[in-house]
Chain A
Amino acid sequence: MDLTLKVWRQKNKEDKGGIETYPIKGISEHASFLEMLDVLNEQLISEGKEPVAFDHDCREGICGTCSLYINGEAHGPDRKVTTCQLHMRMFKDGETVYIEPWRSKSMPVIKDLIVDRTAFERIQQAGGFISVNTSGNTQDANALPIAKPMADKAMDAATCIGCGACVATCKNSSAMLFVAAKVSQYSYLPQGQIERKERVLNMVEQMDKEGFGNCTNTGACEVECPKGISLEFIARMNKEYLGASIVSE
């Protein structure tokens, strides 16, 4: 298939950047989107031009590294897939395809299609962990019974790969789906109870410091999330935050 690509090019963080147009021919419909970009980059290199910088790592939908806004949607037009799992059969021959980086004040573009997502890491560092002594006396996980529904919910929340599609797609650039998933995955489990209140207070505080927008419950994040993280977790985070705020000193 032949396509016209409209790709965001930006030299560095300070550069203004802009959309560049690249025609590309002979792409297999079985190719992944990132493989198509690989072909584009080979084409650009052969023409003596600088290849397009984009994030990628595992290319099997579990690392959360790839992050492209394709034709007006985070991770493209398919559902519950990351960009690396998106296939060219989702596009039509002759189609114009816009490829842009995530847009958020809190995730500035570093180069071309790569954004700085360290805001997520700082939110995690603020409370997305449990403190366990790992000096050799670690308890066997199976020694602590956990009800199956609770374990399932925790696992559902823990499937968040932190790709940032929720922020990218939210009209308010809100990170609440990500933070809610990270808060919830521990709050369902007994291991997460000790730091439960501090966790939600600290993670929300850090999220606000990073400058993300506020959630207005449009549900766009849930639709575009490659792991299908539910809005239910945002409600849970709101409840956790309200509870922690009332009892905190």
Chain B
Amino acid sequence: MSKGFSKSSVGRKVLMALSGFFLISFLLLHFVINFLSVFDADLFNVASHFMGTNWIIQFIMQPVLLFGVLFHLIMGIYLELKNRAARPIKYAMNKPSENASWISRNMVITGVMVLLFLGLHFYDFWVPEIVDKFVDGIWDQPTKYFTHLVHKFEDPVRVGIYCLSFVFLGLHLLHGFQSAFQSAGFNHNKYTPLIKKLGNLFAIVISLGFIFIAVFHHFNSH
């Protein structure tokens, strides 16, 4: 790999795409496991316990995931600032909606909203898990996951915030999914329209699916 790759505009685009692909695959896994909670509490507990105690997932995949999130976040904001600096004088009259969608032009807004949500999400689920395992030293609690999940969705305000955040996540994915393929250098007459449709489907299923899970547990906890 050439020395300048990670410092070049194209190189950074490719790296953003690769981290995006990784986060998309994680999101799909996260969604599938969470969706189990709608059908079977025990199955959800088994899957969550496996994810929470498997050493490969805990000590290899989890740090990789954290790195992936941080990289995507820091690089995204850095590129946004750099891009803004490339046009120091703005147009007196500009009509960006004539040639590009709001979603594609405002990835930083939807991204920052997802980031803010991640703060709450980590506080709700990740921090208690880390405290349990690494502070209190309790690793073997195979049935706690479903109870904890349902308890968190009792508060209607929290459910509202989660649902709104999933809308922002969906908007981010609507552009991000297909954009990652383009950035990674894949654009094909036959397959790109298919990728765009698949990306739209993925964004809608993920955001509506997560909303459904939150609302489902909220109403079933009462």
Contact = CB atoms under 8 A, between A and B. Distances in A.
Interface of A: 6, 8, 19, 69, 71-73, 77, 98, 100, 103-106, 169, 171-174, 176, 201, 204-205, 207-208, 211-220, 223-224, 231-232, 234-242, 244-246, 248
Contact of A100 (B1, B91, B179): B91
Interface in B86-130: 86-96, 98-101, 104-105, 107
Contact of B98 (A69, A72, A217, A245): A72
A237 B10 contact: yes
Interface stretch (B42-50, B153-161, B184-192, B205-213): B184-192
A149 to B, nearest CB: 11
B4 A205 contact: yes
B10 A204 contact: yes
A247 to B, nearest CB: 9
A220 B179 CA distance: 13
Contact of A69 (B2, B4, B88, B91): B91
Contacts of A244: 2
Interface residues of B, number: 46
B13 interface: yes
Nearest to B5: A245
Interface stretch (B59-67, B77-85, B139-147): B77-85
Nearest to B78: A214
Interface in B5-49: 5, 8-14
A215 B9 contact: yes
B87 A216 contact: no
Contact of B93 (A98, A216, A231, A239): A98
A214 B4 contact: no
B10 A219 contact: no
Given A204-B8, A238-B10, A72 B175 contact: no
Q: By CB atoms of chain A within 10 A, which of B82, B89, B179, B186 has the most?
A: B89
A171 B98 CA distance: 12
**Most B C-beta atoms less than 10 A away, residue of A100, A172, A224, A232:** A172
Tell me which of B5, B9, B10 has the highest count of chain A C-beta atoms within 10 A of its own C-beta: B10
B99 A220 contact: yes
B183 interface: yes
Contacts of A231: 182, 187
A201 B86 contact: no
Nearest to B187: A235
Contact of B99 (A223, A242, A248): A223
Contacts of B187: 231-232, 234-236
Given A219-B104, A242-B185, A246-B1, A72 B83 contact: no
B99 A216 contact: no
Given A172-B83, A242-B14, A71 B93 contact: yes
B13 A214 contact: yes
A156 B104 CA distance: 25
Contacts of B79: 214, 216
Contacts of A106: 86
A105 B85 contact: yes
Given A73-B99, A220-B96, A235 B87 contact: no
B182 A235 contact: yes
A29 B152 CA distance: 65
